[in-house]
Amino acid sequence: MNTKKSRSKKEVAQPETIESVIEEMTVAVAPEQIVEAAQIEEKSSAKKSKAPKTKVIRDSFSFPEHDYRMISDLKKSCLASGIHVKKSEILRAGLHLLTAANPDELKKAIESVDKVRTGRPSAATE
């Protein structure tokens, strides 16, 4: 008994010449299309060359309640003036102002702030 399967022979496509393949691949392109393609490529490369985003760091702080209310009051006054602002933006703006201050003004500002115990409250005081 014959255990081999008979295989039908498929027709093999004749190899094409390089010239015929190139002719099929070549597409007539109008000069306007070339200019448009170049403009699109420039736009995409401009998007890629944007400056890298600055890294945002998350942190937590302890505030006395009256200082926290001051942030809320500043936020309300900004909103009344038509300025949409977040708490972190208020804190960062204050940081920029303190950085620009002279050493005497900076010392006065630091001395006017109450010292706060750092860390989380113990379970017994909750």
Tens digit of each residue's pLDDT, the chain (126 residues): 566 666 666 665 666 676 666 666 655 555 666 666 666 666 665 556 677 888 888 888 888 899 999 999 999 999 999 999 999 999 999 999 999 999 999 999 999 988 887 777 777 655
In a domain, 37, yes or no: no
Q: Which domain holds residue 85?
A: 65-114
Domain count of the chain?
1
In a domain, 1, yes or no: no
Fill in the amino acid letter for 106: L
Task: Please return the burial class of 90, using the count of CB atoms within 10 Å of its CB with bins 0-12, 13-18 and 19+.
Answer: middle
In a domain, 27, yes or no: no
CA distance 26 to 47: 30
Please state the pTM of the whole predicted model.
0.51
* Positive or negative torsion for Cα 23, 26, 31, 32: positive
In a domain, 105, yes or no: yes
CA distance 17 to 123: 84
